[in-house]
A and B are shown apart, each in its own frame.
Chain A
Amino acid sequence: MAAPDFAILNVQLPNKLSDLAGQVVYLDFWASWCKPCRQSFPWMNQMQQKYAAQGLQIIAINLDSESSLAKDFLDKVPAQIPIIYDPEGNIASEYQLIGMPSSYLIDKTGKIRFSHKGFFTRTEHLYEQELVLLLNE
């Protein structure tokens, strides 16, 4: 399934998702009030560092309606990945999230290949295997 395209407002990134074709993109939808979202940040930071050279781009999409709460969260949980703010939930509606956090792994041709509801530290190694699989295509 082709990943729904959306405009990106972040200086570290191109203007829209489809401009990232040729890279593997990991989209993570999170919010400050979502406890398991907290656990995914250290892993995402680590993965971005490890695989950036091989063409991985992790993007964290924040769904807080109050951006101040997202800022407080990021003060406590450092993120070394680009954040996009979607306070209206427009991107979330496109992707029809079923739960929080939700992640979508998009291959180099722009197709959604894997998606996960929730984030479990015990299955981190499986998420990483999926990343590597798509990076090696």
Chain B
Amino acid sequence: MLKKAQIILAFLISTLLVGCANLGVQPWERDLLAKEEMALDSEGIDLGLDDHIYFSKEATSGGRGFAGGGCGCN
């Protein structure tokens, strides 16, 4: 029983180690990511608008920053 647990533990640890073997995309492999159709949004204006709304709604806590807004509440 204990031996079985040891084997399972060894297996789980080995899978963890293999998980770090590939750290993702290499700098020269970014060609697919650079394609226009891979952009998060095809319309830059859409992104700008979303960002503006987000920023306005979050303005009291500093928008995308961390310091407080203009009201002195945080």
Contact = CB atoms under 8 A, between A and B. Distances in A.
A, B from the same assembly: yes
Interface of A: 29, 31-34, 63-66, 69, 89, 92-93, 97-100, 102
A89 B34 contact: no
Question: What class of interface size applies to chain B in its complex with A?
Answer: under 10
B30 interface: yes
A89 B30 contact: no
B28 A92 contact: yes
Contacts, number: 33
Most buried by A among B26, B28, B34: B28
Contacts of B29: 65, 89
B24 to A, nearest CB: 14
Interface of B: 26-31, 34-35
Contact of B28 (A66, A69, A97): A97
A33 B30 contact: yes
Given A89-B28, A92-B26, A100-B27, 11 more contacts: A29-B28, A31-B28, A31-B30, A32-B31, A63-B28, A63-B31, A64-B31, A69-B31, A92-B27, A97-B27, A100-B30
